[in-house]
Structures are given as structure tokens and as C-alpha cells.
Amino acid sequence: MSDEVNTAHSRVVLEQPRHWNRWKGRLAWIITSISVVVAITALGANAEYFQKNPKVIEHYHSLSKAARDKIAIVEIRGAIMGGDGFARHQLDQVKVDNAIRAIVLRVDSPGGTVSGSDELHYRIKKLAAERNLPVVVSMGSIAASGGYYVAMANSGQDEIIFAEPSTVTGSIGVIIPHFDFSQLLKRFEILDDSITSGPLKEMLSVTKERSPELAKRERGIVQDLVDEMFNRFKDIVRKGRPKLNEKAIEDVTTGQVFTAQQAIKLGLVDKIGFLEDAISRATTLAGLSEDSVRAVQYKQPQGIFDDLLGGATQARSFNTLEMVVELATPRAWYLCSWWPMLTTNSL
């Protein structure tokens, strides 16, 4: 009898773990299924918050966090070089986001190359026209030369350019830097004996000694180029500030920089205000209320080394050869700087 009891007790002890194992497996499947359902539901409800562009990260800035409609803050910071920079990535993100209802251009730039400034101006104008998006400008510490050129890609309405009290703007003009080291090289008995297809192929060379006749001819050609680019800049200002008459245009396109207060008097800027004021104006132009829209801004993705180094790896670095080529390249600039070729390429 005792043997039967022991056998039964052993069977119960052995069968309990098997029974629990079966239920443990089922419980795991149940929890996994519930988790998948919750994740899918959350994904559908918050799809607009998930990033589709790996080159930019969207962040909430202000106004209503729960709103679906957005005001996009597009930041134009640093030297404008054109090409596939972060400014372009921000515009690409705005283009595919149907929740964007207006753009606030946050300009904090001394300008950049003529081609880069013109390209960025073109892309902003084209995007705004295609999506029927009002564009409001918020100027930071500086919005000069090419920075002001880009600011002209606005919606053309009243009260759309805001400058902070300490903003510096203007510097409307063109510069092609040129340095002549030929006499310095001559002192060291170094001669530039380059072979070219014609005398103008070495135009703006920093090492070639020229005859007075050739130097005058070259300067006239380059001046014509500068004048043509300058006329285009003035035409862009006319379209961006349609209330300015021709005398006013001539007064503000001398290359001079202006304070925010001077810029208002001259008609280059509409109001003194900060980013929040520009966002409020963009909300009004989009026909929205501030409790029905959220303002978002974009950041560049960063890796662990960027975090450790404070974002230092984001800046473009030149090796020795690149620096020499950059210094030796004649390039036209809409830029408020004495050393344009050394300016950091951040856009």
C-alpha cells in the first residue's frame, strides 16, 4: 500500500512541471500577441511622429503637442555652399510631410557662394509654390548677403520678415576675392611658367605676373561678371520686397550692413521680433490657431562620437590639398566676410 502511495505521489510531482511548462509557453504567446497588437495600434495612431528621412530628425518646438498640423522651422545656419547639405535635407522632409502648413525660415548666416545662395532660394520658392505654403522669415544674429538673398524666398505678404533687436543684415553685393602673390614669388626667384590654351585661361591666378594691358582686360571681364550677378541680386530683392521703389533699392544695395532698426527704416525688414513671433505670424497666414498646430524643427542625426565631442564631427574638415585648391579657386560670393574661402561649409 505504501508503495502505491509513493508511486502516485511521484507521478503528481513529475506531472506538475510538465503541466506548468505547457501553460508557461501559452502565456508567453499570449503576452507576445498582445504586445504586437499594442505596437501596431500605436504605430497607426502616431505615424506622423516616426521619421521617414534618415538625414533629419524632427523635434517638437512649441504650440500644441497634440496637433496634427505643423509649422516647419527650416534653419539656414552658417555659410551657404549649396549642394546636398542639411538645408536641402530639411526642405526634402517638408516636401514629403503633408501635415506641414507653413514654413518659418530661421536664417543665421553671413551668406555664401552665389550659386549656393541662388539654389537654396530657388528650392524654397519652388516648394512653397507647389505646396501653397506661406513662408515667414526669422533672422538670428546675422542674415547678410546670401543670407538675405535666401530670405527673399518669402510669401510676399506683409509682416513676414522678423529681425531680432541685435540682428545684422544687408551686405547686399557680390565679391570675387583675388590676391596677387606674383611679386612675392619674384623675390624668391619663383616663376609661374604655366602653359595654357590662351591668355585668359589663367585669369585671376594668384601667381601669374601680367602685363598692364592683360591685367586691365581681365579686370574688365571679371567686373562684368560681378555686375551681372549683382543685378540678379537686386532683382531678387525687388521681388522679395515689392514695396521698395528704385531709389530705395539703390540705397540698400551698396554692400553696407545694417542694424535691425536701420533695416526696418530702409524697408529690408518688417518687424522686430523673435522666432516665436515669426511662428505666430506663420500660423495666422496658414489660417490656423495656435492651439491647433505644433511647430517642429529639424536636427541632424548624431552618433556616439558626435555626442562625446559636442557635435564637432559634424563640421566639414579640409585636408591640405583641399585647402590649397579652395584657396586657389576664384569663386563669386554673396558673403559678408573678408575671408570667404576659409568659411566653414555647413549647409
> Is 243 annotated as catalytic?
no
159: left (phi over 0), alpha (psi -120 to 50) or beta: left
Q: Annotated catalytic residue: which of 138, 145, 280, 346?
A: 145
User: Per-residue pLDDT averaged across 45-65, rounded?
Assistant: 74
- Residue-wise pLDDT tens digits, 220-250: 999 999 999 999 999 999 999 999 999 999 9
In a domain, 321, yes or no: yes
- Whether the CB-CB separation of 345 and 316 falls below 8 Å is answered with yes
| CA atoms of 87 and 287, how far apart (whole Å) | 26
Percentage of the chain lying above the pLDDT 70 cut: 72
| CA atoms of 209 and 196, how far apart (whole Å) | 14
Q: What is the pLDDT of residue 9?
A: 52
Q: What is the pLDDT of residue 81?
A: 83
In a domain, 106, yes or no: yes
In a domain, 186, yes or no: no
User: Per-residue pLDDT averaged across 17-39, rounded?
Assistant: 58
In a domain, 230, yes or no: no
Global confidence as pTM = 0.78
Please report, for the domain that includes residue 74, its CATH number.
3.90.226.10
Where in the sequence is the domain holding 317, given as residue range(s)?
Answer: 53-174+241-342
Q: Answer whether residue 202 shows pLDDT above 90.
A: no
Average pLDDT, rounded, for the chain: 82
Q: What is the pLDDT of residue 224?
A: 96
Least confident of 4-13, 184-193, 201-210: 4-13
In a domain, 337, yes or no: yes
* Cβ partners under 8 Å of residue 95, min gap 6: 127, 130, 131
Handedness of CA 167, 173, 174, 175 (dihedral sign): negative
Output b/e per residue, 259-297; b: 16+ Cβ within 10 A.
bbebbbebbbbbeebebebbbbbbbebbebebebbbbbb
Least confident of 124-133, 134-143, 197-206, 291-300: 197-206
> Is 208 annotated as catalytic?
no
Q: Answer whether residue 47 shows pLDDT above 90.
A: no
In a domain, 292, yes or no: yes
In a domain, 198, yes or no: no
User: Per-residue pLDDT averaged across 86-93, rounded?
Assistant: 94
User: Per-residue pLDDT averaged across 72-92, rounded?
Assistant: 90
In a domain, 79, yes or no: yes
| CA atoms of 145 and 335, how far apart (whole Å) | 5
- Give the count of domains, the chain: 1
**217 phi, psi to nearest 5 deg:** -65, -45
Residue with cell 511548462: 21
Q: Annotated catalytic residue: which of 52, 186, 201, 216?
A: 201
